[in-house]
Amino acid sequence: MSDIWKPSVTVAAVIEHEGRFLLVEEETSEGVRFNQPAGHLDPFESLEQAVAREALEETAHEFAPTSLIGVYMSRYQSVRTGEDVTYLRFAFAGTLGPAHDRPLDHGILRALWLSYEELVALRERHRSPLVLQCVDDYLKGKRTPLSLLHTHASVTGNPDD
């Protein structure tokens, strides 16, 4: 086994419409929690592809990232299992597309729209402290062009990347 420490790379979609944010309610090892549509980067995909895929899987809505809100790092230690993981999260703003008639990803109980006040009131049930931090940064107007990101073709096999 390797002794090289590796953070877990995740992506998250911050989706706002008319002052409400699209979140998911999900089953976790710590119980039911709230999160942005988010998940792990899979092999052979770019960060942008990952966030679009996760949003679709967890909300049944298409999502097209238009900017990077920020890159965040946090450490999680499970009270239940003692597992210790460092997460490196890339949070994206973007455009919500049409909904599809498809089941939500395993563990996702529902997708729901919450006001900022409702989101703050549920703070103790957030999946991570980064849920509110990403929304706060979004509301502050933090945006970086996607051109900051580069995925080499060796990752996706797509020579246009």
Give the tens place of pLDDT for each residue, 23-40.
999 999 889 999 999 999
Band (pLDDT 50/70/90 cuts) for residue 2 is low
Q: In the block, which residue shows the tokens 């592809």?
A: 49
Whole-number pLDDT of residue 161? 61
CATH topology of domain 8-147: Nucleoside Triphosphate Pyrophosphohydrolase (3.90.79)
Q: What is the mean pLDDT of residues 41-59?
A: 98
Residue 36 to residues 3, 141, 151, 157: CA-CA distances in angstroms? 32, 18, 23, 29
Q: What average pLDDT does the structure give for the chain?
A: 94
Name residue, tokens 């298409």.
62
Residue showing tokens 């995740």: 10
Tens-place pLDDT, residues 57-90: 999 999 999 999 999 999 988 777 788 889 999 9
List of residues 6+ apart from 33 with CB closer than 8 A: 25, 26, 125, 126, 127
Question: Domain-by-domain residue ranges, the chain?
Answer: 8-147
Among 124, 114, 143, smallest CA distance to 36 is for 114
Across 46-50, 56-60, 79-83, 139-143, least confident range:
79-83
This model's pTM is above 0.95: no
Q: Is the pLDDT of residue 1 over 60?
A: no
